[in-house]
Amino acid sequence: MARWIDWGRKCACPSTRGRGTPACSFVLALEPAFIKLDRSWVHGIDEDTAQALVAGLQHFAMCTESQLIAEGIETDAELCRLQDLGVELGQGFLLGPPQPVG
């Protein structure tokens, strides 16, 4: 992985939810350019615990010069809450449907 980064490639890591999720030590060692916030946290963003987690991940991303990407944004309320928490990148049906690559 280090060689890819040396070649100017950027990597992304999933956040701390879902199957196959990397341990925090893995995220620290990898130093990803992006950290993807799982849609399960986005859909629960009205809960205090989800907001605290997103705020913590956003702070971690800033401190490590990474960017947080919120996945699965489907409502205006989710988008507004994420923006309030400082998340600048996102994907989901609210922002547009999936598009063909080619």
- Say which residue, 101 or 59, is predicted with more confidence: 59
SS3 per residue for the chain: CHHHHHCCCCCEEECCCCCCCCCHHHHHHHCCCEEEECHHHHHCCCCHHHHHHHHHHHHHHHHCCCEEEECCCCCHHHHHHHHHCCCCEECCCCCCCCCCCC
Evaluate whether residue 27 is within a structural domain. no
Highest mean pLDDT among 9-13, 17-21, 70-74: 70-74
Structural domain count, the chain: 1
- More confident: 37 or 2: 37
Using CB atoms within 10 A of its CB, is residue 80 exposed (0-12), middle (13-18) or buried (19+)? exposed
**Distance in angstroms (rounded) separating the CA atoms of residues 80 and 87:** 10
pLDDT tens track for 27-44: 676 778 888 888 888 999
Position 24 in a domain: no
Is 102 within the bounds of a domain? Answer: no
| Domain presence at residue 29 | no
Domain that holds residue 51: 2-17+34-90
What is the model's pTM?
0.73
Q: Which is higher by pLDDT, 100 or 66? A: 66
Whether pLDDT at 22 is above 60: no
pLDDT of 16 reads 52
96 in a structural domain: no
pLDDT digits (tens, 9 = 90+) for 54-94: 998 899 889 888 888 999 999 999 999 999 999 999 999 99
Q: Is the pLDDT of residue 20 over 50?
A: no
